[in-house]
């Protein structure tokens, strides 16, 4: 150690010395430390003071510095049994949303986000840096969100809406929670597609609502069964994903889009349109949202930047017209006052940058290629597994199995592939066995091929 050594470096050395000594043992004197490590008296004094403050050593004036007694750690035992009674029977189902730790070397085909290699990391970093340099970057943001960002979201919605109809949220999941609590009272039914997004089912139940499933086919939700569900349940809200539905990838047909709106209007109900995947198309034409056909405020529209950008870009938007918008704004403000301004500014910088359009074009190609690669690899490795519909957008394949999906997911994990079993996507009993596979969650096409090979070893019994 030379004259430029710091007390931090000496601290590391002294901590190693203390670990080798027993409580009560004496440390070398200050003079010995100065000579041995070639440091100044001030450096030694600072290091000893830090160790004393941490309780690692004790000093005895005129005697020296000694290793302090090591305190025994005891676990505090408290009785929390009373909480079960106080919390009553309203549980929050977050289990289906939690990401489990993957074994080393496992290939992840679960989750709902892009792999890091598909995220616009450089553009995000640059956008955040520019946003942070704004003079007002850390000022309070308007409760509804920055006007300029709301204007951009209004344009992205491809409908006849204005910035004043837009409410910025902390991502799509926050928007779901706000909408469910704003529209329906606890104890009310809410109609959902079957299968549906687990995050929506969890958010609805957390709001005290009871999800009632309405089946899908290859053209989307069935309007006849939707009308019947409204009539039987008295529900005043239908949650759906008309474009690249999660988990099936289904696109609601043009004819049914009109029918769904007509059914909801007849029931005096709202439609919560979750348009999370509009920017996740695979290069084809994307249908206009239900919002664009809405002429009387039936549709509440939800979108987010999280899926096409990165998990931590927690910026979304709710679009609504009429009194319901005021209800949404009120709940949003009570929750957390406003969305962090630097993140809103960064989102605005990103969306305004030419790199964003380039990212989306490249992403469309990558998603199309990955989807096709996984479909072909599964056809070779698992001809007994059925992909009834190859999606033209989104991140997932919905695969039907001849065996139990939960057991298959367990075996797949043991084989080194993490997948999502189908049971979590149904509000009630599942009609068959399914797996959801995320073809955008891996580093490259080679990983998809390797994952399919490993899935070929999963039992078909």
Per residue in 390-414, pLDDT (tens digit) is 999 999 999 999 989 999 999 999 8
Say if residue 282's pLDDT is above 90.
Answer: yes
Give the pLDDT score at 101.
Answer: 65
The answer to whether 171 touches 308, Cβ cutoff 8 Å, is no
Alpha helices in 268-385 (DSSP H): 323-336, 341-351, 354-381
Beta-carbon count within 10 A of 171 CB: 20
Q: How confident is the model at residue 83 (pLDDT cuts 50, 70, 90)?
A: low
From the centroid of its chain, how far is CA 237?
Answer: 24
pLDDT at res. 152: 93
pLDDT of residue 72: 65
Give the model's confidence band at 168: pLDDT under 50 very low, under 70 low, under 90 confident, else very high.
very high
What is the C-alpha to C-alpha distance for residues 352 and 401, in angstroms, rounded to an integer?
Answer: 44
Query: Which whole number is the average pLDDT over 157-183?
Result: 93
Confidence of residue 86 (pLDDT cuts 50, 70, 90): confident
Cα–Cα distance measured from residue 400 to residue 388, given in angstroms and rounded to the nearest whole number: 8
pLDDT at 256: 96
Confidence of residue 69 (pLDDT cuts 50, 70, 90): confident
> 395, 440 in Cβ contact below 8 A?
yes
Mean pLDDT of the chain: 90
Residues of the chain above pLDDT 70, percent: 92
How would you list the strands of the sheet with 316-319, edge to edge?
166-169, 316-319, 299-304, 270-274, 237-240, 189-194, 210-217, 220-221
The 10s digit of each residue's pLDDT in 2-55 is 444 466 788 888 888 888 898 989 989 888 888 888 888 888 888 888 888 888
CB 297 within 8 A of CB 321: yes
Residue 2's pLDDT is what?
43
Position 143 confidence tier, pLDDT thresholds 50, 70, 90: confident
Query: Are residues 196 and 190 in contact, defined by beta-carbon separation less than 8 angstroms?
Result: no
User: Residue 251's pLDDT is what?
Assistant: 97
Q: Place 267 in a pLDDT band, splitting at 50, 70 and 90.
A: very high
pLDDT digits (tens, 9 = 90+) for 191-247: 999 999 999 999 999 999 999 999 999 999 999 999 999 999 999 999 999 999 999
Q: pLDDT digits over 17-29, tens only?
A: 888 898 989 989 8
pLDDT score for 4: 42
Q: What is the pLDDT of residue 1?
A: 42
pLDDT of residue 93: 66
Packing angle between helix 223-233 and helix 254-267, nearest 10 degrees?
10
pLDDT at 98 exceeding the cut of 60: no
The pLDDT of residue 79 is 74
- Identify the band that residue 299 occupies on the pLDDT scale cut at 50, 70 and 90: very high
> pLDDT tens digits, residue range 336-381?
888 889 999 999 999 999 999 999 999 999 999 999 999 999 999 9
- Round to whole Å and give the CA distance between 332 and 138: 20
Q: Where are the alpha helices (DSSP H) in 382-434?
A: 405-414
């Amino acid at each position: 150690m030379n004259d430029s050594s710091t007390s931090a470096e000496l601290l590391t050395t002294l901590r190693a010395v203390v670990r080798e000594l027993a409580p009560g043992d004496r440390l070398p004197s200050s003079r010995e430390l100065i000579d041995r490590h070639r440091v100044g008296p001030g450096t030694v004094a600072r290091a000893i003071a830090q160790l004393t403050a941490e309780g690692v050593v004790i000093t005895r004036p005129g005697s020296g510095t000694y290793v302090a007694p090591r305190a025994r750690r005891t676990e505090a035992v408290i009785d929390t049994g009373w909480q079960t009674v106080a919390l009553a029977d309203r549980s929050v189902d977050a289990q289906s949303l939690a990401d489990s730790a993957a074994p080393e070397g496992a290939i992840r085909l679960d989750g709902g986000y892009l792999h890091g290699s598909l995220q616009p990391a450089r553009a995000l970093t640059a956008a955040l840096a520019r946003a942070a340099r704004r003079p007002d970057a850390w000022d309070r943001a308007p409760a509804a969100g920055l006007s300029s960002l709301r204007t951009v979201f209004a344009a992205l919605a491809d409908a006849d809406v204005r910035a004043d109809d837009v409410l910025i949220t902390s991502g799509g999941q926050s928007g779901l929670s706000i909408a469910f609590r704003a529209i329906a009272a606890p104890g009310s039914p809410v109609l959902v597609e079957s299968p549906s997004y687990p995050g929506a089912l969890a958010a609805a139940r957390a709001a005290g609502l009871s999800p009632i499933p309405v089946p899908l086919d290859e053209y989307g939700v069935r309007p006849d069964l939707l009308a019947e569900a409204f009539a039987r349940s008295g529900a005043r809200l239908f949650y759906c994903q008309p474009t690249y539905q999660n988990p099936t990838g289904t696109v609601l047909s043009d004819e049914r889009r009109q029918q769904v709106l007509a059914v909801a209007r007849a029931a005096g109900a709202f439609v919560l349109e979750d348009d999370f995947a509009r920017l996740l198309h695979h290069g084809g034409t994307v249908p206009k949202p239900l919002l664009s056909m809405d002429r009387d405020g039936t549709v509440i529209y939800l979108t987010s930047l999280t899926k096409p950008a990165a998990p931590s870009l927690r910026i979304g938007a709710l679009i609504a017209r009429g009194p319901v918008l005021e209800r949404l704004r009120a709940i949003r403000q009570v929750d957390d006052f406003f969305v962090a301004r630097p993140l809103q500014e960064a989102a605005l910088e990103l969306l305004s940058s030419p790199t964003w359009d380039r990212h989306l074009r490249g992403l469309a190609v990558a998603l199309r290629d990955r989807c096709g690669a996984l479909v072909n690899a599964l056809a070779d490795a698992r001809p007994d597994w059925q992909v009834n519909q190859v999606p033209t957008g989104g991140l997932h394949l919905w695969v039907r199995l001849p065996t139990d999906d939960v057991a298959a997911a367990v075996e797949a994990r043991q084989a080194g592939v993490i997948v999502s079993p189908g049971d979590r996507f149904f509000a009630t009993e599942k009609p068959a066995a399914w797996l959801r596979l995320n073809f955008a969650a891996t580093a490259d096409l080679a990983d998809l091929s390797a994952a399919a090979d490993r899935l070929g070893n999963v039992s078909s019994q």
